Amino acid sequence: MCGCGDRHAPGEPTPYDVGRAELATGRRTLLKAGSGLAFSTAALAAGTGAADARSAAAKTRKRVYVLVVDGCLPEEISGGQTPHLFDLMVSGQRFAKAQSMPIMETIPNHVMMMTGVRPDRSGVPANSVYDRKAKIVRDLDRSSDLRADTVIERLNRRGLRTGTVLSKEYLYGIFGTRATARWEPFPVLPITGHAPDEFTIQAAMAMVEDVDPHLMFVNLGDIDRYGHADITGPLGAKADRRLALAKTDTYVQRFVDLLKSRGLWKHSLLIVLADHSMDWSTTNRVVSLSGPLDDDPVLRGRVQIADNGGADLLYWTGPTAQKDDAVRRMLRIAKAQPGVLSAHDRRQASLRLGPEAGEVVVFCRSGWRFSDPDPRTSNPIPGNHGHPATRPIPFFLNGGHPSVPRYAASPLVAQTVDVAPTVARFFGLTGTPRGGWDGTARI
Amino acid sequence: MLATGSAGAALTAIAGPTTLPAADALAASERAGSRYFQHGVASGDPLPTKVLIWTRVTPTAASRPGSGKGPRAHVTWEVSTRKDFRTVLRRGTFVTGPSRDHTVKLDVDGLRPATWYYYRFGFQGTHSRTGRMRTAPAAEATPTNLRFGVVSCTNWQAGYFAAYRGLAQRDDLHAVLHLGDYLYEYGAGGYGYGQGDVDIRTHDPKHEMVSLEDYRRRHAQYKTDHDLQDAHARYTWIITWDDHEVANDQWKNGAENHQAAEGDYHRRRARAHRAYDEWMPVRMDGTAALGDGDRLYRRLTFGRLAEISMLDLRTYRSQQVATAAPTPVPAAEAEVSDPDRTITGDAQMRWLKESLARPQPFWKVIGNPVMITPVTFAQLPADVLAPINDVTGLLPHDGLPYNVDQWDGYTADRLEVLRFIKDRHIQNALFVTGDIHSGWAAEVPYDVGNYPLGGTGAVEFVCTSVTSNNLKDITGTPARTTSLAVEQTILANNRHIKYLNFDDHGFSVLDLNAKRAQMDWFVIGDRADKDTPIRYSRSFISISATGRVKETDVPLHRQKPGQS
């Protein structure tokens, strides 16, 4: 598995299924928006809460829009290919050296954006993990998987309105009902588990008009999804991907145009970034660790692998007394495989991944991917991320609020985990999460 | 302050207010000092709180460079933020003598980051000329921009150092990078001006430098050039060597221009390195001290905006591949891709990877003595080439190179560097290069046979020579005639190369900010004319994080700092 398709136990409803069921049972309230779109809000909050929020909203006209161009490479933002994004980048505050954080996957980096803390504090280190209690490899897509406070909730507590427009089912799942309003992604494409950007941006625009959140968190998934499936990627052509880039670029501009026409732009901070970038591999450059690990007499049958495309997480399931020996064996075997860039004891301080990431973290080289447990069928797609080659991301600020620098560039290294403290500072939120931010405010 | 101890000892004191010499007294003192300080002053290797300063004292007429004669001498030094030295921040005394050819080299510490300072030396009641130096920005600083003069290949016999004059006349640089071939080893008539190797000025000694005395005298001669002295006094320099500081086409165990009759090569190189350490404002093995090692590759950090990794691509490299035909005929020898051959050596390769992997520097500048960009013919994509070579082992990895003295002759090392960059998607690797007596701007492809689809791992800007012969000089043809055809042939076969100028001499100016890197090329007229004019030529930029190069029509002198 690449870690990007939804993965659940057979018959288990996805969080997306659960969300729609909540609507049916009345535990959530559906707000009918324009264009036939629907947003849900917590049932109790729908009436009085909305009024309270509107009252609180009068205190600030500031707005923040976080647009995640999922899977975009920094060098893909260019005047020829994405002219509108390029103009936003150049005319605002750009961080040309920005990074996704390990594991360079969608769910953990969106969680870092909204929590401002690293996975060892949020409990969300990867898309796919081995759930030791359930004894299954699954996606971290349950709202309860996220243990840390989010800036969404911090704003809610201040009486400000928040909204999530997340194109991917598992993002919808993990952020759950935290926002004042959330879009029910639709239509969701089979296999990819995401709504096309055309619909996502319509939803974002409708939410601006009907809910007007102070903070809106939007994931545009097409660039990532087209990238995953682009068979011309390994050749460098990236034909499908380029099409997605061009389309998403126009959607972003449409969104900005709406903000300007509604008079919101002059009060706004727009944060555009990616959660990770993308790398492509051919079918002859696949790493599968399950076989070599099973060849070891100590490890055989006692290691679970959570395949995250460019990163494998290895979990020791044998006796605790043998764990240190098992870790040494896993590291040695992994490092010996062609296509493996590095293998790390998960407890390595700089990784900051937490126990949910298992015992050993293995990254592949550029132009390779993992396919575990089956070397042929588990991950057949050419586009992957999760490994260091996919760490650089675009990251820039724009917007009409006077605090947004104009035509500025910084040599500092911005990271996905910087988004929450940036949002907090913009709104003037006092206090920090217990233990402080792991990120840095970039405004 | 008096000092005791052996030659090379330095004593430092934090100074308080001092007596104030009047401007005319200062000038008189400097005039008198010119008798003792005949080789100028220099500063080098700037750190946030430390800069190395250098001079050479001639205490007696007999104390000629390389002579080994003369007394020990106590040389004072002072550092101030004021040109008139009304207040002196740091001062001390340095004891030198014939054992170190009467050179003075020491680290001044306790300075403030990103600050201009003035320095001078004193002897027998006189003073040297005043030099100006600048510390690097603090480690966490985010300077708006950094601007460097860039030069290489300064052959005394081939003409005058007008390019140094051009640098000294500027007021917008933070430092000067010299990429090697600071001096040449040849004797009179050995390598001079144009096809006939005419000596515009004749080397001292007149024979090829081989002995320690030879190397010292040659260094001393170069340091008497007024343009060179002005440029050293004006800016802090960051310098590496290429081959001619020892002998042409040197490698770890020999050189093209070293013959058995000239003795043991390693002893010759040790003498060359000793003289270099004495006479150049560089830290070898990380110190200003002599005799403690000759490792020249080193890093210099300029806040968060840039880090410069200066390479030594001569001391550890394997011998160049012998080719069936001489340069520039494309070489078909597959040995250029032999993985057992190296241009960096193992330790320096590990160190270079550490430089590239460091997370904070925005621009990872590599001071690179020879070109890394492939300049080759008949390239094939790596995926096509690999199975062919599995069977035949006959073809170089990146096409047929025209110059195997460059990284093109060591493609396994280049591939290792580029794979390291690609595996980590390292951004903003910028090679700044000399050696080849011509100006280039290029992208460094991961797979030259699959450019541009295969992506690029770095960009490279190459400055031309200050005086050393270029293509028109070698062919004896007018500018923009023969060279044009060669340039077009190379460009047509190497689409990753965006600029090539085989005809001009001069210098470059490199400007870095968080939006882009830009190099401007300046060219001179006739090298034989001491007063030859200098004019702006071309500008190329690399937008940050793109790994691409393109021309711009807005030179640096028409921009504000930080502009893109």
- Quote ipTM for the complex: 0.90
pLDDT tens, residue by residue, A294-337: 999 999 999 999 999 999 999 999 999 999 999 999 999 999 99
Q: Say how many domains are in chain B.
A: 1
pLDDT of A260 strictly over 90: yes
- Classify residue B266: in a domain, yes or no: yes
Q: Do B545 and A388 touch (CB under 8 A)?
A: no
Helix (H), strand (E), coil (C) string for B277-323: HHHCCCCECCECCCCCCCCCCEEEEECCCEEEEECCCCCCCCCCCCC
- Is the pLDDT at A52 greater than 80, yes or no? no
pLDDT at B79: 98
Closest CA–CA distance from residue B114 to any residue of chain A (Å)? 17
pLDDT at position B153 is: 97
Q: Do A409 and B547 touch (CB under 8 A)?
A: no
Nearest CA distance, A294 vs chain B (angstrom) = 27
User: What is the structure's pLDDT at A45?
Assistant: 44
Quick one: pLDDT at residue B471? 86
- B301: domain CATH number is 3.60.21.70
Biggest distance spanned by C-alpha atoms of chain A: 67
pLDDT for residue A205 is more than 80: yes
Q: Hey, are the CB atoms on A390 and B142 less than 8 Å from each other?
A: no
pLDDT value at position A22?
57
Residue B504 domain-assigned?
A: yes
Q: What is the mean pLDDT of chain A?
A: 89
* pLDDT exceeds cutoff 90 at A262: yes
DSSP state letters, B423-440: HHT---EEEEE-SSSSEE
Of B427, B450, B547, the CB nearest to A97: B427
Q: Is residue B267, in this structure, part of any structural domain at all?
A: yes
The confidence score (pLDDT) of residue B561 equals 72
User: Is A97's CB within 8 Å of B422's CB?
Assistant: no
Q: How far is B315 from chain A (nearest CA, A)?
A: 30
Pick from A232, A366, A407 the residue to mutate for testing the B interface (most B CBs within 10 Å): A366
Task: State how far residue B257 is from chain A, nearest Cα, in angstroms.
Answer: 42
User: Is B6 contained in some domain?
Assistant: no
Q: Is residue B164 part of a domain?
A: yes
Question: Alpha carbon of B507 to those of A325, B154, B369, B467: distances in Å?
Answer: 59, 11, 15, 10
Exposure on the CB side of residue A403, measured as CA atoms within 13 A: 17
Question: Testing the interface with A: which of B416, B425, B515, B549 to mutate, by most A Cβ within 10 A?
Answer: B425
Q: Which of B425, B547, B548 sits opposite A389 (nearest CB)?
A: B425
Position B536 in a domain: yes
Q: What is the pLDDT of residue B4?
A: 34
Per-residue pLDDT of chain B (564 residues; tens, 9 = 90+): 333 335 666 665 555 545 545 678 888 888 989 999 999 999 999 999 999 999 999 999 999 999 999 999 999 999 999 999 999 999 999 999 999 999 999 999 999 999 999 999 999 999 999 999 999 999 999 999 999 999 999 999 999 999 999 999 999 999 999 999 999 999 999 999 999 999 999 999 999 999 999 999 999 999 999 999 999 999 999 999 999 999 999 999 999 999 999 999 999 999 999 999 999 999 999 999 999 999 999 999 999 999 999 999 999 999 999 988 777 778 888 889 999 999 999 999 999 999 999 999 999 999 999 999 999 988 777 777 676 666 666 678 888 898 999 999 999 999 999 999 999 999 999 999 999 999 999 999 999 999 999 999 999 999 999 999 988 888 888 888 888 888 999 999 999 999 999 999 999 999 999 999 999 999 999 999 999 999 999 999 999 999 999 999 999 999 987 666
Which residue, among A72, A73, A75, would best test binding to B if mutated, counting the most B CBs under 10 Å from its CB?
A75
Task: Name all domains of chain A by residue range, CATH numbers in brackets.
Answer: 17-124+140-281+393-427 (3.40.720.10), 286-381 (3.30.1360.180)
Q: Tell me the per-residue pLDDT of A80-126, one tens digit each, with 9 for 90 and over.
A: 899 999 999 999 999 999 999 999 999 999 999 999 999 999 999 99
In a domain, B307, yes or no: yes
CB < 8 Å to B546, chain A: 75, 78
Residue B546 included in any domain? yes
Which residue of A412, A415, A440, A442 is the best one to mutate when testing the B interface, meaning the one whose CB has the most B CBs within 10 A?
A412
Q: Cβ A237–B453 below 8 Å, yes or no?
A: yes
B360, B453, B546 member nearest A75 (Cβ): B546
Q: If interface means Cβ-Cβ distance under 8 Å, which residues of chain B face chain A?
A: 142, 303-305, 359-360, 362-363, 419, 422-425, 427-428, 450, 452-455, 513-515, 544-548, 562, 564
Which residues from chain B sit within 8 angstroms of residue A413, using beta carbons? 359-360
Q: Report pLDDT digits (tens) over B72-94.
A: 999 999 999 999 999 999 999 99
HSE at residue B250, side-chain half, CA atoms within 13 A, is: 26
CB contact under 8 A, B423 and A391: no
Residues in B touching A96 (Cβ below 8 Å): 362, 427-428, 514-515, 544-545
Identify the pLDDT of residue A3.
42
pLDDT(A24) > 60: no
Q: Which domain holds residue B348?
A: 136-558
